[in-house]
Amino acid sequence: MNMKSFAAVAGTLATAGMCFAAASTSSLYVTFETGAVPTGPEDCDAPDYCVPFDWTEILIPGDCTYINGELEKRYELGCQPDTYMVCFDKLNHIVAADDNSSELGNGWASGLWGSDCFIDNGDGTRSLRLGVTGRPDGLDGVFNGLFQNGPHGQLGYFEVHVTFTDQMNTECGYELYTDEFHTGAEAFYINYAVPADATGVHVNIDNALEHNEIRCDVDYFKLTNLVPLCDYCIEQIGGIDCECTKTDAMLGWFDKSCTLIDHNDDKDYEDVYSKLCAVADANGEINIAVTGYSDYNFNGLNDEWEFGPGMEDRAPVECPEPKHGHGVAGCYTLKVYVTNPHSGGIPADSGNAGDVTVMQNALDHGDLNMDGVTNTADLGILIGNFGWNGN
């Protein structure tokens, strides 16, 4: 590479970064719409994460702009017990049984239909005597909460929906029973009086009831329409969380290859709100992320739980544990503003992000447009400025 040409390119870029103003000087509030978790809104096994060149863009219309956003609550399914259902006669003999035939739940719930389970009480009335346990209890022919003298191991809530029907298959009675396997060795007995006009029954268990709240949202977005190589600060100036206290957000500055350049939690080491200063790249863009306190790697999880001592040796559990997200859910308002309107690329108010070597390191590696990668776009800039610089 012609070093004099390289120096000319660097000088051209620095000149382009004179921060007199952005597209306009008026302030504007914009709202950042958060995206869905990659694998679905109830799954935080794969929380929001950084994807190179796939940022939600926010156009900054002036040299002082306010962004409203939110770290959202998410919900994931909790325990979903694999049930086993039976019905009994008056002597507690099993008349019918089922494992996974329910029309409700996640496919591991039980269901029974028909009138085979109606038991004549001998006084003109009939009973429906049901039993609900956890699989594999019942598969051994004994309904007692155990399997081969050990607990069946199922945990969590379930609902039993009982719908009686008449000869026209019209509902003539409905019952609902709710309970929980909380030790993994329970077996439940349920007894209902059958309506006089009932000729059939539909019994369905719903085992997918429990939802755990998880706060693991991370907002990744790109600020665009900035002045290239200009100094900007992104400062949290407001926001209330679900507990009516300040939203304890953390700010991160990333390059376009998703490498974290710097971050900030408390702007003055006392205030909850954060402040992060950065330099716009040669395209007039800054990539930032907002997450909750304790999430220093910006993956939505609490770092202490994720990397704490002994976590790698945790014993498996019978049902999903709540994911330990960073724990922050609430609104935030960010102020994006120019900090040094007459200098190119050297932060005047750098907070704990202002390292003037960031730009120089990028140029030293041939990343002329400072987008985090050295590619044909940089080559195009070099060729366009190739030759003598006139000095």
Spatial separation of the C-alpha atoms in residues 294 and 302, rounded to whole Å: 5
Name which residue leads in pLDDT, 270 or 331. 331
Farthest CA pair distance, the chain: 112
The pLDDT score that the predictor gives to residue 123 is 93
Instruction: Verify that 226 and 187 share a domain, yes or no.
Output: no
Per the CB < 8 A criterion, the answer to whether 241 and 106 are in contact is no
* pLDDT, tens digit (0-9, with 9 covering 90-100), for 50-64: 766 667 788 888 778
Among 77-91, 251-265, 373-387, the range scoring the smallest mean pLDDT is 373-387
- What's the chain's average pLDDT? 77
The pLDDT score that the predictor gives to residue 7 is 34
Q: Confirm whether 252 is domain-assigned.
A: yes
- For every residue of 237-269, DSSP letters joined together read EE-BBTTSSB--EEEEEE-TT--EEEEES-TTS
Instruction: Verify that 357 and 250 share a domain, yes or no.
Output: yes
Spatial separation of the C-alpha atoms in residues 281 and 344, rounded to whole Å: 11
Residue 349 token pair: 């108010």
Q: Confirm whether 390 is domain-assigned.
A: no
Residue 225 token pair: 């329409």
Instruction: Verify that 70 and 148 share a domain, yes or no.
Output: no
Sheet of 219-224, strands arranged across: 56-59, 219-224, 286-292, 249-254, 260-264
- Of 140, 174, 209, the last residue of a domain is 209
Q: How far is CA 246 from CA 69, 240, 303, in A?
A: 14, 5, 21
* pLDDT, tens digit (0-9, with 9 covering 90-100), for 331-344: 999 999 988 654 44
Name which residue leads in pLDDT, 22 or 174. 174
User: At a CB cut-off of 8 Å and minimum separation 6, what does 177 contact?
Assistant: 159, 160, 162, 190
Instruction: Verify that 328 and 270 share a domain, yes or no.
Output: yes
- For every residue of 74-143, DSSP letters joined together read EEEE-----EEEEEE-TT--EEEEESS--SSTTS---EEEESTTEEE-SSS-EEEEEEEEETTTTTTS--
Q: How far is CA 162 from CA 112, 142, 157, in A?
A: 9, 23, 17
Instruction: Verify that 327 and 303 share a domain, yes or no.
Output: yes
* pLDDT, tens digit (0-9, with 9 covering 90-100), for 128-140: 999 999 999 988 8
Domain count, the chain: 2
The pLDDT score that the predictor gives to residue 10 is 35
Residue 288 token pair: 């930032």
Exposed, middle or buried, 121 (CB in 10 Å: 0-12/13-18/19+)? exposed
Name which residue leads in pLDDT, 347 or 260. 260
Q: Confirm whether 172 is domain-assigned.
A: yes
Rounded average pLDDT over 142-152: 89
Domain with 45, as residue range(s), is 3-75+214-384
Write the CATH number for 184: 2.60.40.3230
Residue 154 token pair: 């199922």
Name which residue leads in pLDDT, 325 or 29. 325
Using the predicted structure, report yes or no on whether residue 323 has a pLDDT greater than 70. Answer: no
Rounded average pLDDT over 167-191: 95
Other Cβ atoms closer than 10 A to 264:
22
Name which residue leads in pLDDT, 82 or 74. 82
Q: How far is CA 80 from CA 4, 35, 315, 349, in A?
A: 68, 27, 19, 52
- Of 149, 177, 209, the last residue of a domain is 209
- Of 160, 192, 209, the last residue of a domain is 209
Instruction: Verify that 341 and 323 share a domain, yes or no.
Output: yes
Other Cβ atoms closer than 10 A to 69:
23
Using the predicted structure, report yes or no on whether residue 19 has a pLDDT greater than 60. Answer: no
The pLDDT score that the predictor gives to residue 256 is 85
Sheet of 111-114, strands arranged across: 111-114, 200-206, 156-165, 171-181
Q: How far is CA 104 from CA 154, 201, 207, 276, in A?
A: 18, 15, 8, 49
Rounded average pLDDT over 339-364: 49
The pLDDT score that the predictor gives to residue 45 is 43
Instruction: Verify that 175 and 27 share a domain, yes or no.
Output: no
Q: Confirm whether 134 is domain-assigned.
A: yes
Q: Confirm whether 69 is domain-assigned.
A: yes
Spatial separation of the C-alpha atoms in residues 253 and 226, rounded to whole Å: 15
Closest to 95 (Cα-Cα) out of 131, 124, 126: 131
Name which residue leads in pLDDT, 200 or 267. 200
Name which residue leads in pLDDT, 189 or 70. 189
Exposed, middle or buried, 293 (CB in 10 Å: 0-12/13-18/19+)? middle
Instruction: Verify that 168 and 258 share a domain, yes or no.
Output: no
Instruction: Verify that 352 and 291 share a domain, yes or no.
Output: yes
Write the CATH number for 236: 2.60.120.380
Q: Confirm whether 389 is domain-assigned.
A: no
* pLDDT, tens digit (0-9, with 9 covering 90-100), for 81-124: 999 999 999 999 999 999 999 999 989 999 999 999 999 999 99
Name which residue leads in pLDDT, 172 or 382. 172
Among 11-25, 152-166, 236-250, the range scoring the smallest mean pLDDT is 11-25
Instruction: Verify that 218 and 203 share a domain, yes or no.
Output: no
Instruction: Verify that 252 and 269 share a domain, yes or no.
Output: yes
Q: Confirm whether 123 is domain-assigned.
A: yes
The pLDDT score that the predictor gives to residue 356 is 45
Among 37-41, 265-269, 310-314, 384-388, the range scoring the smallest mean pLDDT is 37-41
The pLDDT score that the predictor gives to residue 11 is 37
348-382 burial string, b = 16+ CB within 10 Å, else e? ebbbebbeeebbeebbeebbbbbbbbeeeebeebb
Q: Confirm whether 391 is domain-assigned.
A: no
Instruction: Verify that 147 and 106 share a domain, yes or no.
Output: yes
